[in-house]
Amino acid sequence: MARPNRQVERRTDIMDAAIALIERHDLATLKLADVAAELGLTTNAVRYYFKDMTQLLSELALRSDVRFYDDRLRLQTEGDDPCVQLARTIAAGLPTGPEDAEWR
C-alpha cells in the first residue's frame, strides 16, 4: 500500500513555522536552517520543498495575497446584497485569532 502524499501539509507546516519565526526574529537574518530547527527537521528536508529562503518568502507573500486580496475579491462577487458583500469582505480580512501571525 502506498504512503499518503503529505506534501501540501508539509509545505503548509514549513510556511507556518517561517511566519512564526519572522514574528520573533529579524527577517534579514532568517535562514532555512532556522525554519528546519523550528520544525525539528534537517535543512535538506526543508530544501526539498523550498530551494532557498527567497522561494519560501515568495510563497508566503503569495499565500498572503490570496488570503487578503484574492479571497476577499471573490467574496464581493457572491450574492447581490451590497451589505452582505461588505460584511463578508470585512470578515475575511480579520485575523483568525490572537495567534494569527500572518495577519500581523
Q: Give the highest mean pLDDT range of 39-53, 54-68, 77-91.
A: 39-53
CA distances from 3 to 8, 9, 32, 73, 81 (A): 14, 14, 26, 37, 47
Task: Indicate whether 35 belongs to any domain.
Answer: yes
Q: Give the highest mean pLDDT range of 3-17, 44-58, 74-88.
A: 44-58
CATH code assigned at 12? 1.10.10.60
Task: Indicate whether 72 belongs to any domain.
Answer: no
Task: Indicate whether 78 belongs to any domain.
Answer: no
- Please determine, for residue 104, whether its predicted confidence score (pLDDT) is greater than 70: no
Contact 22, 30 (CB under 8 A): yes
Domain of residue 34: give its range. 7-66
- Please determine, for residue 96, whether its predicted confidence score (pLDDT) is greater than 80: no
- Please determine, for residue 7, whether its predicted confidence score (pLDDT) is greater than 80: yes
- Please determine, for residue 60, whether its predicted confidence score (pLDDT) is greater than 70: yes
Residues written for the chain = 104
Task: Indicate whether 75 belongs to any domain.
Answer: no
Domain count, the chain: 1
Q: What is the pLDDT of residue 95?
A: 67
- Please determine, for residue 102, whether its predicted confidence score (pLDDT) is greater than 70: no
Q: What is the pTM assigned to this prediction? A: 0.72
